[in-house]
Amino acid sequence: MIGLFHASSFSIIVLEFFHPFASISLSEKMIIVIRLKIIFILFLLFAFTKPSSAQWIRVDTLAQGEVNCTSVDSNRIFAGVSLSLNWHEGGIILLSDDSGTSWQTMDTMTSAPTSLNTNTATFFAGTYGNGVFLSTDKGSSWFSSSLTNSDGDIDGLQIIGTNVFAADLYNGGVFRSPDAGSHWTTIDSGLTNKWVSALFADGENLFAGGYFEGGGGIFLTTNNGIFWESFGVGLPRVSISGIAVVDTFIFLGTEAYYPQPGLGIFRSGIKDRTWFPVNSGLTTSNVSCIIGNNGNLFVGTYSAGIFLSTDDGLSWFPVNDGLGDAYITALTFDKDYLFAGVWNYLNGCSIWRRPLPEMITSSETAFDTPSLHFELQQNYPNPFNPSTEIELSIAKSEFVSLKIYDILGREVKTLLSEFLFPGTHRVQWDARGETGGIYFYQVRTTSSTLTKKLILLR
């Protein structure tokens, strides 16, 4: 519609408008025409230009220290912040009850808060060097519990029923309180690594991730810590920075601990108990935190911001619009937003938020919409038995691989691994001999990766 109305037509209309006013000189008329043209162009820009998609926005006024932990209780968001990078110098608890629009300081602590959780009646805060603190007035004031280990760093707090669990990073193992923090006992039978850097509860299952110093590893208890067992095979010795469960999988974030670098994300089926790296699309192997949300998975990193996976970790997509490649110190979410603790050398610490639906939609578009360089079609037929055809199109000559993965992320078959010329290419997968179920096919080029799901019937 805009193209039908040429600028010269606009000039003629304006000049005709001035025709009755012969006293106005031609030069004056042209000046007015130019000004009206500018106004007209600005109108078109505002009227027909789509607004940019939602981005991360900063929602705090912090400067120094570090946002160590975040937690959500109903519509109340809590953040534990150290007053400086020296966590022994104390910290504060912040609260927002309007989705991060405004924050208020609830209390000041003598040691920096490192983890947060709540069972609604009581709020719990793990600290660096001073054990666990409690609040019985919805976070307004805090007092020390009976767990006051002076050397520990409470790196995780989880709640199962009436039991509260606290993880001590520095060789203290895991503690349990059956009475909201009044009494604590050590629960480490079978826990061969007591340097516990992450803790996660999934129903009656409690997972503990080990620090590299104590040998790494991941452990599980199903009886509130009476006995722990090593969980799964295939996981190298590495520091666990976070644990999440999405669908039928458990995910681990890993971080660097000299001399061992971080190794990105590992995934295991909860029943299969076999670990595999799932790092396609990640641009860093140092993961600081990990969190699941309605079947989606977010990870924070030490240098590359935040990544999202909507396909159980098989592909990762950066969601850093407005945020940049930041060091992410904490992640949490409410019903509308994802919140991130951020730190960098220029601005110190800060809290940011971004709408959850917008990120998930943009991520799915990035995965499913054909790129400028290649397109990947849905296989046909789907579901299928025993064979199906996969079609892909590339716009330039480049090396292309096409692989099949099972639901556990294990490579099943390489269908294509060669240099292809521009055009449409079709590849058959004969799945005779494979068990029925959900599989994924993934195409990689030198610049992009696309993944889609297919179903084999038996």
Model pLDDT, residue 52: 43
In a domain, 205, yes or no: yes
Same domain, 387 and 421: yes
Model pLDDT, residue 167: 95
* Buried b or exposed e, range 376-386, using 16+ CB within 10 angstroms: beebeeeebee
Model pLDDT, residue 223: 96
Quick check: 288 and 255 in contact, CB under 8 A?
yes
Same domain, 347 and 305: yes
Please give the sequence-ordered ranges of beta strands (E in DSSP) within 231-379, or none if there are none: 239-246, 249-255, 265-269, 276-277, 287-293, 296-301, 306-309, 317-318, 327-333, 337-344, 348-355, 374-376
In a domain, 19, yes or no: yes
Same domain, 209 and 238: yes
Model pLDDT, residue 315: 87
Q: Which of 337, 364, 391 is the last residue of a domain?
A: 364
In whole angstroms, what is the distance from residue 434 CA to residue 441 CA? 14
Same domain, 280 and 391: no
290 - beta bridge partners?
299
Query: For residue 26, what are the contacts with CB-CB under 8 A and spacing of at least 6?
Result: none
In a domain, 369, yes or no: no
Model pLDDT, residue 176: 96
Same domain, 263 and 174: yes
Model pLDDT, residue 6: 43
In a domain, 1, yes or no: no
pLDDT in tens, 46-91: 444 444 456 899 998 776 788 999 999 878 899 999 987 776 778 9
| Type of residue numbered 239 | S
In a domain, 79, yes or no: yes
Model pLDDT, residue 361: 65
Same domain, 308 and 414: no
Same domain, 345 and 392: no
Please give the sequence-ordered ranges of beta strands (E in DSSP) within 395-436, or none if there are none: 398-406, 411-420, 423-430
Identify the residue whose tokens are 């067992």. 229
In whole angstroms, what is the distance from residue 417 CA to residue 264 CA? 25
In whole angstroms, what is the distance from residue 264 CA to residue 288 CA? 10
Domain extent, residue 27, equals 7-48
In a domain, 277, yes or no: yes
Long-range contacts of 302-305 (CB under 8 A, 24+ apart): 302/255, 302/256, 302/262, 302/327, 302/328, 303/327
Model pLDDT, residue 2: 38
In whole angstroms, what is the distance from residue 264 CA to residue 286 CA? 6
Model pLDDT, residue 369: 40
Model pLDDT, residue 107: 87
Q: Output DSSP code: residue 153.
A: B
Identify the CATH number of the domain in which residue 440 sits. 2.60.40.1930
Model pLDDT, residue 325: 75
Tokens of 305: 């911001």
Mean pLDDT, consecutive 10-residue stretches, the chain (458 aa), reads: 41 45 59 61 47 74 84 89 79 92 89 90 92 90 84 88 94 93 94 95 96 93 96 93 94 90 92 89 94 92 93 89 88 93 82 88 49 76 93 86 85 90 91 91 79 88
In a domain, 426, yes or no: yes
* Pairing, β 276-277 against β 265-269: antiparallel
Q: Which of 315, 339, 364 is the last residue of a domain?
A: 364
Sign of the four-CA dihedral 360, 361, 362, 365: positive
In whole angstroms, what is the distance from residue 313 CA to residue 80 CA? 29
Q: Which of 310, 340, 364 is the last residue of a domain?
A: 364
Q: How far is CA 330 from CA 153, 189, 313, 409, 425, in A?
A: 16, 30, 20, 27, 44
Same domain, 324 and 388: no
Model pLDDT, residue 83: 85
Residue 163's SS3 state is strand
In whole angstroms, what is the distance from residue 291 CA to residue 313 CA? 12
Model pLDDT, residue 362: 56
- Phi–psi pair at 419, nearest 5 degrees: -80, 125
Quick check: 58 and 351 in contact, CB under 8 A?
yes
Same domain, 199 and 321: yes
- Please report how the helices 26-48 and 7-17 are oriented relative to each other, as an axis angle in degrees rounded to 10: 130
Quick check: 306 and 322 in contact, CB under 8 A?
no
Same domain, 233 and 171: yes
Model pLDDT, residue 38: 62
Same domain, 235 and 356: yes
Looking at the structure of the chain, the number of domains it has is: 3
Other Cβ atoms less than 10 A from the Cβ of 151: the count is 9
Give the residue from 314, 117, 155, 342 showing the smallest Cα distance to 239: 155
Model pLDDT, residue 357: 85
Model pLDDT, residue 34: 66
In a domain, 353, yes or no: yes
Same domain, 334 and 311: yes
